[in-house]
């Protein structure tokens, strides 16, 4: 079926300025880490992307290794773009990354110029694009000088392969150094992509301050802690959940533990009192920082995309609500 985007797509979405740049991003971004790969239904992925764009989500986040198999999310996204969204390329912010293992040998991962440039060229081919909007160093490389990794990002922007440069999971200190190097090169660091949710708050310990001072935007990934910060695991592990479906999918030590579920049960009551679902309160909570440009969600169903966007209807927290959340998380 032919896809025509909704005329209302810009009516309700909130857009936030990315740091001190000229670029605005939707407060909710859709990531294609899972559910868009070769093992997944292309039609379901296509429906989620259509619905997202119809709701004003202009930003889609990818990486070389998303799938599985690695690369297949970019291939599928390329198919969907070619079929449905080609005419709307200038309304889209498409990002990709390199850092994790993508091909065998010493040039298939980490942060060398050799790997980053080759990987982005592969990503562009898979997606059928001339350029991505944002290209990230996916993780800091302890064995490559920051100057080389960031010099590669500067080259990538200057050569027209990307419009902006970003970094992901860099520590506060590495971020400060990266910002200085990129500024000297004349390609400012647009954005940092760290993990951030109620169960993983490391960015509150210095990173947000650095981003604020340097004028770098922030897009927090896994705001739902991969689905744990929703009502889905409150009674059991459903068969169609990430925890049940994807062996080893839960990274960063995430697990559907009794302790976490007990907390989510209490948080869920507060969410209901706010007139929100648990997922919506978790997204709103991530977006409570002025420095947070966008909440980078994942989804396996169209309804999850809709639920996430509706979180933007209530982003305000009273001091009392924030204190209640702190008390529950500290238990």
- Which residues are at the interface with ligand NAP (CB under 6 A)? 31-35, 61, 138, 168-169, 193, 221-227, 230, 232, 241-242, 279, 296-300, 304, 307
State which residue, 16 or 138, has the beta carbon closest to ligand NAP: 138
Shortest spacing between CB 267 and ligand NAP, in angstroms:
14
Give the C-alpha separation, 178 to 181, whole Å. 5
Strands 15-17 and 189-193: unpaired
Q: What is the closest distance, in whole angstroms, from the C-beta atom of residue 301 to ligand NAP in the complex?
A: 6
For residue 88, give every residue at least 6 positions away whose Cβ sits within 8 Å of its Cβ, in sequence order, or none.
Answer: 5, 53
Angstrom distance (rounded) from CA 196 to CA 187: 26
- The least distance separating ligand NAP from the CB of residue 202, rounded to whole angstroms, comes to 13
> Closest distance between ligand NAP and the C-beta of residue 271, in Å?
11
Residue placing its CB nearer to ligand NAP in the complex, 2 or 135 = 135
- The residues, any chain, with a CB within 8 Å of residue 322's CB and separated by 6 or more, are 288
Enclosing H/E stretch for 330: helix 319-330
Residue placing its CB nearer to ligand NAP in the complex, 16 or 195: 195
CB of 254 to ligand NAP, least distance (A): 8
Beta-strand pair 162-168/24-26: unpaired
Cβ atoms of residues 77 and 64 within 8 Å:
no
Tell me which residue of 86, 42, 33 sits closest to 62, measured CA to CA.
33
Indicate the residue among 62 and 320 with the shorter CB distance to ligand NAP: 62
Nearer CB in complex with ligand NAP: 241/268? 241
């Amino acid at each position: 079926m032919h896809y025509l985007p909704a005329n209302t797509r810009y009516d309700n979405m909130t857009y936030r300025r990315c740091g001190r740049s000229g670029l605005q991003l939707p407060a909710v971004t859709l990531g294609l880490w899972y559910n868009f790969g070769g093992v997944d239904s292309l039609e379901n992925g296509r429906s989620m992307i259509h619905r997202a764009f119809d709701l004003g989500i202009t930003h889609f986040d990818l990486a070389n290794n998303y799938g599985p198999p690695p690369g297949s999310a970019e291939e599928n996204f390329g198919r969907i773009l070619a079929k449905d969204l080609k005419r709307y390329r200038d309304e889209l912010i498409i990002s990709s990354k390199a850092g994790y293992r993508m091909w065998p040998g010493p040039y298939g991962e980490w942060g060398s110029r050799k790997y980053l440039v080759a990987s982005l060229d592969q990503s562009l081919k898979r997606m059928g694009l001339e350029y991505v909007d944002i290209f990230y160093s996916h993780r800091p490389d302890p064995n490559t000088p920051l100057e080389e990794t960031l010099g590669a990002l500067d080259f990538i922007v200057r050569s027209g392969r990307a419009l902006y440069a970003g970094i992901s999971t860099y520590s506060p200190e590495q971020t400060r150094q990266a910002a200085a190097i990129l500024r000297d090169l004349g390609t400012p660091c647009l954005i940092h992509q760290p993990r951030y949710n109620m169960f993983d708050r490391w960015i509150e310990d210095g990173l947000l301050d650095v981003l604020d001072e340097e004028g770098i935007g922030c897009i927090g990934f896994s705001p739902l802690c991969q689905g744990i910060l929703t009502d889905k695991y409150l009674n059991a592990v459903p068969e169609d959940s990430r925890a049940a479906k994807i062996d080893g999918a839960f990274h960063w030590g995430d697990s559907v533990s009794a302790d976490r579920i007990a907390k989510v049960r209490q948080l869920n009551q507060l969410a209901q009192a706010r007139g929100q679902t648990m997922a919506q309160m978790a997204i709103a909570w991530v977006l409570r920082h002025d420095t947070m440009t966008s909440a980078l969600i994942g989804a396996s169903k169209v309804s999850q995309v809709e639920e996430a966007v509706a979180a933007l209807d209530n982003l305000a927290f009273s001091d009392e609500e924030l204190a209640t959340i702190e008390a529950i998380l500290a238990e």
